[in-house]
Each structure stands twice: as structure tokens, then as C-alpha cells.
Structure 1
Amino acid sequence: MSTGRAVVIGAGTAGLVAARVLAGHFEAVTVIERDTLPNTPTPRSGVPQGHHVHGLLALGAEVLECFFPGLRAELAEAGAPVWDWGEGLCAVLPKGTPPPVPMGMPIQAFSRPLLEHVLRRRVAALEPVTLRDGLAVTGLRTAGPGSVTGVRVMGAEGEDEIAADLVVDASGRSSHLPRWLAGLGLPSPRTTTVDARIGYASRTYLYPEGQSRPPWMGLLEPLRAPDFHKGCYAIQIENNTLHVTLHGAGGTPLPHGDDDFLAYAQTLRGPIAETIAVLPPASPVRRYARTVNRKTAYHRLPRWPEGLIALGDSVCTFNPAYGQGMTVAALEARLLEQMLRSKRTRTPLDEQSFQKRLARITAFSWLMATTPDRAWEQSQPTWHVKAANAFMDRLIDTVPHDPRLYTTFSRLFHMTAGPLALADPRLLSRVLIGPRPGRNPRTPTA
């Protein structure tokens, strides 16, 4: 039963998927975006990380396909390749590179602007949805400290108010929600940050006609404290393009231009340097350093206003190196759908309960991102952080020698399996024993 009006702040991935859900439950859904939205799949200023490699985990792809049937085919028609993670990934790990293993885990590679363009077009076509760009939300419209009734906005025509029965903050890392809640007399929520001081430098390369391509679809060389402070992630995406992001942890200086980009790549152990050395660049080098993990504990506030929820990076942001953000946003939208469907007719959404359940969704992804990142922080890590990293290091060191463990870890990484997948005594014993001697992992090639 569709009733009332909803407002979504932010037209990024989280906001668009939330709008898709709300369109099935509200008579009108207004998506408000500060940027002027492009009509083509091009980066925009409000998403500076859009210039860098993005990954959609397998679970996230499944959820988005449910919300947007035919999405994978539409992206493929736009040139986004689909490949099996186990067969198409070259993972240059500290103790070697796993050989190709069919996993039945389809992955699709695309640029962030292409995904947002397709999602935005799909959402804008929904009858209840209106996209309003070039409009900044300046505050909440309220009917007392316990109730949000819309938003205040500022655009080219001046200030205005938009009434709503539900406001969704999906404005991302730049969210002003803590300040707005303080204006309602609510206490400041606790914020936790973990900063590995990781930076990115990215650019794209073209495959000229007739140019041979590497045998891999994706190349991953991860960071690991304290020894591996440089890495990369490269994927083949739409428009016959190779998208390359070089990583540096712990404040490692990043390249700025053509010569030092290749020089940086040549310091890595994998084949990225010899791959890009023969390709013409299709973009300048772009850098990004806002990679701090940040979690805001809205779920612990003793009071929460009616008519307001927050999701996506507005609540919990992850180091983008782990590729979790878009998938977690999709899972949060699925939670919203479940709660809206389960509510009794004319009974409002329990907003505080939503924030508590959302916190449970983000808990495991937060642990997966912050455990290795804490090892880069200058302060002495606690014993349990040391123990967790020691276990993960042993696991990753064993992966090149054990196809079954590689498959299990990949499913854990892509969130299609939970942490209990590693509780299998046979797999656990393999991790504890560590890499088997006498097995030489393959050497990666371009």
C-alpha cells in the first residue's frame, strides 16, 4: 500500500537503491542531489572516488539484480565484461599467486560512473520518483525534537522546504546528520575511525585494435602491514579500457604523472608495469586519499526522531580498497525493503529499530576492513588485533597452495559465505599448519 512522501538525500549508489525500494511503498519519492547530474556515464565532482577502480562483490550484484532485473545484461550491453572470479583474477599474494580455479562466481567489471548512470536511468523511470539535482539540503524540517517532517534546501532559486513522511540520509562521507541531530537536542553519536593512511593514484589505458590483452580480467596485489606498503588493483572495464589503481599505505608517496606512475608500478611484484608500458593512457593520473574507515553509532542513541533514517556511507564508511561499500549499501536497502513490507498497514516504519539492524549488517564488513587497517596505525595494536591479523596472514599465505581454501576465502570476501565457513576443521587445520613446503606457486605474467 503506497502512502505518503519520501525524500532521499544523495543520488549515489546508496541513495538510488534506497529510492528504488521506497518507490514501491510511497506515492512520491524525491531524490535530492547537490551535483548537477550528467546525462552520460562520466565522473562528477561529488564522487571524487569515481575516478578509481570500483568493485561490486558477488552478493551485492545478486541483490542489485533482484532490485533491477536485467541490470547485469544492461551493463554487459554497455561493454562491462562478466567473468568468473576464480578463473579471471590474478591475485599476487605475499606467498605466491593461486592458479586459476573455476568457482562459479560471476563478477562484472565496470566503472563507477557507468553503474551510477544505469541505476540513475532505471530509478528516474519509476513513476513515483523525481530526481532534483543542483540542490543542496541545508537542514531538517521538524515538528518538534522528536519528529522530522522534511528537509530545507538551497538551490538557484533560493531557499525552500520539501515536506516528507520519511527522510533518508544517503549523502555519504560528507553527511551533516550529526550536526542536524544536535540541532534537535540529541546527544552526539560516538564516532569510531581507523585510518591506515592509504592513498590511491589511478588512470585508465586503452587497448588499441589488435593489441593483445593479458590473460587475466582483474589483477590484485594487496597491501599488508608492515612489509607490503605498495599494491594495485586493475580491471578490464567497458570501452576496451584497463582501469588501474595503485595503492600506497602508511603515508607512502603516490605518483603524480606519466613517468612516476609507471615507475611506481615497476616497484610492484606483479605484471602491472609490463602490461601498461605498451598501452596508451586514456586519462590523467588522479589521486585520492579519503580512505579512513568511519562508523557513527546512531544505533546507540537513546532517542531517535521519527521520520528519519540514515544508511550507506552516511553511517559507516569503509576503506574502498576492500570493495565493500556498494554491496553493504545494497544490503541496507534490502533491510529497508524487508521492514517496509513487514510493517502493518498504516503503521510507520520503526526508524530506531532500522538503525539497530543496520548496525548488525555493517558489523562483519567493518571487522574485515579495520582489522588489517589497524596494523598500519602508529599506535600499538591490541593483542586481539595482532592475533586476528596473524590468522589472516597465515590464511592468505596458504591460499596459493590450496584451491579449496582459495574458493572458501573468495566466497567470504564476496560475502556469499559467512565467517563460519572457515570453521570447517579441515580448512582450519590447513590455515594453522600454513603453506605446505615444496609447492611452488605460479609466477604471474602479463
Structure 2
Amino acid sequence: MRRDTDVRHAVVIGAGMAGLAAARVLADRFEAVTVIERDTLPSASAPRSGVPQGHHVHGLLALGAEVFEGYFPGLRAELERAGAPVWDWGEGLCAVLPNGTPPPTPMGMPIQTFSRPLLEHVLRQRVTALEPVTLRDGLTVTGLRTTTPGKVTGVRVKEGDAEDEITADLVVDASGRSSHLPQWLAALGLPGPRTTTVDAQVGYASRTYSYPEGRAPLPWMGVLQPLRAPDFHKGCYAILIEDNTLHVTLHGAGGTQLPREDDFLAFAKSLRGPVGDTIASLTPTSAVRRYARTLNRKIAYHRVARWPDGLIALGDSVCTFNPAYGQGMTVAALEARLLEQMLGDGRARTPLDGEAFQKRLARLTAFPWLMATIPDRAWEQQRSAWPVGAGNWFMNRLIDTVPHDPQLYTAFSGLFHMTKGPLTLADPRLLGRVLVGPRRGGSPRAAVRRT
């Protein structure tokens, strides 16, 4: 329920996951919230040009699903009615790891799988149904409106040839990878923020397949075969989603040529897991879509001197992860929760202390950044600093031990899904198992074979 407040209007740039989550939080505090989206949005669940990665497999981690359910009660049930299955991560995932495949391990960790367009469509309907929210699509933000360099008071917009200004007490940049915020800050005379990138040069190729009703169910709900430098150049993530569809994304790194229509099946069959044999008898329902913008990028807005009042940035505008690790949507949910906490903090300046927000957001994204960039740095040509090398060694040792140790597999899954923090592995019993390494004589379901 909205509280009495002296703040009136918030503008959110971008109607993706981060923008919708932010708008949901702002609707409880502001009299009016305007979401501005450059794309002309579809009226149903469908990919859109502003989200080129929308054609590829997306995962909502367990923590992200929990946060979204809190903001949108009944979301899981609504997605399930739309055909999105719910399953236990430990029982339903076939994880084809370099040192084997863990046996099914009940974890009590419910996961729901769906296409990115379906989730975005459902969230967009929920957000636009909120009384304070107005969504304006087909509108491009061209810059920030200011009264002085230290105060943002809205945005400049363009629709066709017409230009206009929209005033606001708070502007939220959630425009994603294509954000122009560094240039807009430069136009205000502010120093350019430092940008850090880690690019494993991973590419994706995706396709969907129809899984007919009445056919014998698959022994798994998802297949995950991760890449790992320097030996494992091929991988995949395949999940069952709505409309009895199997969504398959094939990964390639280290110069691996991504497949097209004529060799998609051959690439899948070259993997160690079951995906190739499964899709060999299924009917494709889409063309093969390729994607290669998988670099990790972090912009240090928290270090910008004289950060202007009335402005914050979040989501992929600030910190972008290689989508292979499935962290983006969950981090967007956590950033919305941070925004809610800071809006409710009576110590913050009205309507929000943007500088403090960016500092806390940097802390929030620090661990997900490490989880994504430690393995990705191993693909880069230059020699990594020793802490990165040590972290990569530890992570590889952990993943090699997981197929032989159900308790460690459960702990690692909690870490992956962000329901557990990094101190989980500080337990001496678990830490000792990782350092000792995998015990031979186990019976993982898949033998080691480099691809």
C-alpha cells in the first residue's frame, strides 16, 4: 500500500526485468511512476528487438523467484497456469560436469522454468495494473533534464521527430547494456566512471523443439553442461518450458564455431550429455538464433565524485554478467529490494540518496561478479593475477568433487542459486572435502570426455 509522501513522480528508463522490478517498488512510494521503453512492446508473450538475448535459455535462480513472488504474490501459480513447470533442482537437473554427473539429489529447492518473454509479459501486466504506473513505449530517452549539474529533474525524450521533456523527482536508469548514462553524465561535466570488462568470448546458439503430449516423459527437466577453460570448449543448457517446449541453448568458447540450422544437431550430439539424442527425434519450432554479447561489464558509478541528486542506475546499466550463469534476473530482483529498503530509510535524503544507493548496489553485486568472472577470466589470453588463479582452482576443485558428494552438491546448489552465501563453504567439513578433492570409486552418471 502506498504511504503518504512528499515525493511525487519517478521515471524508470527501460521496461526489462530490472525496470519492472524497480517500478513495482516505486509504486508503493511515489504518486506517479512512468516507465519509458524504446521498443514498441508486444501485447502477448513474444521476443522483442531490445532484448536480443530473449531468444536464449533464461534461468531465474531460487532466491530471485522468492523475491519476485514477494512483490507479485501468486506469480508462480500464474506462470504455472501458463504452462511453466515447477521442479526440484536436485532431482530434475542433469548436470553434466567435467568430472561426472551427480545422481538425483532431492534438495527441496523448487525451480520454475519458462521463456524470458513469458516472464516479462506477466510482470509487465502486473506492473501496469498498478494505479500509479504508466508505461510509455516507443519513446526514446535522449538525455537528462537538470536545473544544475548536481540535480537531475527529469529526462528529455523523443518520439518520431517530436521532442519533449518529462519532469521527475527521481530518474532510474534501467536501460540495460545499451545505457547511455556515461555520456549523459559527461554532458553534465562529471568525470567518466571506470568500466571493468571480462570477456570470455562465449557464444550461444539456441533453438526450441516441440515435446508432444503423450510422449514418455524425459528423465530430467533440465540439462546443464558448463564450459571450462582450457579443455571444455562446448556446453549447453536445455530446459522444459511452457507450451510443451524444450528450449536448447548450445555454448561455445575458445574459438569454437557456433552451429547453424544444418549442424545444430551435430553440435548437440558432440556433447557428453543426453541433449543430442533427445532432440534428434523432436521437431524444431524455431530457427537457430545466435548471440555473442556475453561479456561481463561493471561500471563504477559508486566512485563517481559529485553524483547528482535525483538519479540512480541499476540492473545491466551498472553490472552485466555473462548470461550463462543465470544471475541477471535475480540480481535485478535483489536491487529492487535494496531500493525498497533505502526508500524506507528515514535517514536518506528525499526522495533517495543516490550516491549511497550506488555504493550499496556495488556491494550487492560484488559476489555475483566474482562468481561470473573468475571462470570467465580463465578464457582470457593474459595471465591472471594469483587471487584469480587461486579462486579458479578452488572453484574447479569444488565442481570436480560435487558429483561424488551429495552434501557438497546441495551446498554448491545453494551457493549457485544465491540462497546461501559464500560462507557456506567455510564449514570445515565441506571445505576439507573440497581441498582433498574427489574420492575415486564413486559412480557418477557420466564419464569424463573433453568437448
Counterpart in 1 of 2:271?
A: 268
Residue 328 (str. 1) matches residue 331 (str. 2) = yes
Relative to the length of structure 2, the TM-score reads 0.97
Q: Secondary structure at the match of 1:270?
A: coil
Counterpart in 1 of 2:154?
A: 150
Alignment map for 1:272-283 (pairs within 5 Å): 272-283=275-286
Counterpart in 2 of 1:199?
A: 203
Counterpart in 2 of 1:388?
A: 391
Counterpart in 2 of 1:300?
A: 303
Alignment map for 1:187-336 (pairs within 5 Å): 187-257=191-261, 259-336=262-339
Residue 140 (str. 1) matches residue 144 (str. 2) = yes
Residue identity opposite 2:291 in structure 1: Y
Give the one of 27, 30, 43 matched to 2:31. 27
Residue identity opposite 1:141 in structure 2: R
Q: Secondary structure at the match of 2:284?
A: coil
Q: For the Cα contact (< 8 Å) 1:7–1:31, is it kept in 2?
A: yes
Aligned counterparts of 2:445 and 2:75: Cα–Cα separation in 1: 36
Higher mean C-alpha deviation, range 378-387 or range 273-282 = 378-387
Aligned counterparts of 1:294 and 1:395: Cα–Cα separation in 2: 26
Q: For the Cα contact (< 8 Å) 2:25–2:336, is it kept in 1?
A: yes
Please report how far the alpha carbon of residue 418 of structure 1 lies from its aligned counterpart in structure 2 after TM superposition: 0.5
Give the one of 11, 16, 19 matched to 2:20. 16
Aligned counterparts of 1:112 and 1:267: Cα–Cα separation in 2: 27
Alignment map for 1:342-381 (pairs within 5 Å): 342-343=345-346, 347-381=350-384
Alpha-carbon distance change, 275 to 6 in structure 1, aligned in 2, over 3 angstroms: same
Q: For the Cα contact (< 8 Å) 2:272–2:446, is it kept in 1?
A: no
Aligned counterparts of 1:34 and 1:434: Cα–Cα separation in 2: 50
Residue identity opposite 1:370 in structure 2: T
Residue 415 (str. 1) matches residue 418 (str. 2) = yes
Structure 2: give runs of 5+ residues left out of the alignment.
Answer: none
Counterpart in 2 of 1:402?
A: 405
Runs of 4+ aligned residues of structure 1 deviating over 6 Å after TM superposition are: none
Give the one of 169, 177, 180 matched to 2:181. 177
Residue identity opposite 1:273 in structure 2: G
Residue identity opposite 1:292 in structure 2: L
Higher mean C-alpha deviation, range 388-397 or range 176-185 = 388-397
Residue identity opposite 1:334 in structure 2: R
Q: Secondary structure at the match of 1:239?
A: coil
Cα root mean square deviation, aligned = 1.1
Higher mean C-alpha deviation, range 248-257 or range 427-436 = 248-257
Aligned counterparts of 2:75 and 2:373: Cα–Cα separation in 1: 31
Give CA-to-partner distance per residue, 1:121-143, whole Å, 9 cap, x none: 00000000000000000000001
Q: For the Cα contact (< 8 Å) 2:194–2:299, is it kept in 1?
A: yes
Residue identity opposite 2:194 in structure 1: R
Aligned counterparts of 2:441 and 2:106: Cα–Cα separation in 1: 24
Please report how far the alpha carbon of residue 439 of structure 1 lies from its aligned counterpart in structure 2 after TM superposition: 1.3
Counterpart in 1 of 2:107?
A: 103
Q: Secondary structure at the match of 1:113?
A: helix
Give the one of 421, 426, 429 matched to 1:426. 429
Q: For the Cα contact (< 8 Å) 1:206–1:242, is it kept in 2?
A: yes
Percentage of identical aligned residues: 78
Please report how far the alpha carbon of residue 382 of structure 1 lies from its aligned counterpart in structure 2 after TM superposition: 1.7
Please report how far the alpha carbon of residue 144 of structure 1 lies from its aligned counterpart in structure 2 after TM superposition: 1.1
Aligned counterparts of 2:309 and 2:47: Cα–Cα separation in 1: 35
Please report how far the alpha carbon of residue 443 of structure 1 lies from its aligned counterpart in structure 2 after TM superposition: 3.6
Counterpart in 2 of 1:113?
A: 117
Aligned counterparts of 2:306 and 2:151: Cα–Cα separation in 1: 11
Structure 1: give runs of 5+ residues left out of the alignment.
Answer: none
Alpha-carbon distance change, 315 to 346 in structure 1, aligned in 2, over 3 angstroms: closer
Aligned counterparts of 2:310 and 2:383: Cα–Cα separation in 1: 42
Please report how far the alpha carbon of residue 386 of structure 1 lies from its aligned counterpart in structure 2 after TM superposition: 1.4
Please report how far the alpha carbon of residue 346 of structure 1 lies from its aligned counterpart in structure 2 after TM superposition: 8.0
Aligned counterparts of 1:85 and 1:436: Cα–Cα separation in 2: 24
Higher mean C-alpha deviation, range 129-138 or range 212-221 = 212-221
Please report how far the alpha carbon of residue 157 of structure 1 lies from its aligned counterpart in structure 2 after TM superposition: 5.8
Alpha-carbon distance change, 348 to 87 in structure 1, aligned in 2, over 3 angstroms: same
Aligned counterparts of 2:381 and 2:218: Cα–Cα separation in 1: 38
Please report how far the alpha carbon of residue 344 of structure 1 lies from its aligned counterpart in structure 2 after TM superposition: 5.8
Alpha-carbon distance change, 241 to 346 in structure 1, aligned in 2, over 3 angstroms: same
Please report how far the alpha carbon of residue 404 of structure 1 lies from its aligned counterpart in structure 2 after TM superposition: 0.1
Alignment map for 1:28-177 (pairs within 5 Å): 28-156=32-160, 158-177=162-181
Aligned counterparts of 2:76 and 2:213: Cα–Cα separation in 1: 26
Please report how far the alpha carbon of residue 348 of structure 1 lies from its aligned counterpart in structure 2 after TM superposition: 2.7
Residue identity opposite 1:238 in structure 2: E
Aligned counterparts of 1:312 and 1:251: Cα–Cα separation in 2: 29
Give CA-to-partner distance per residue, 1:4-42, whole Å, 9 cap, x none: 100000000000000000000101000000000001000
Aligned counterparts of 2:191 and 2:182: Cα–Cα separation in 1: 9
Relative to the length of structure 1, the TM-score reads 0.98
Aligned counterparts of 2:142 and 2:260: Cα–Cα separation in 1: 35
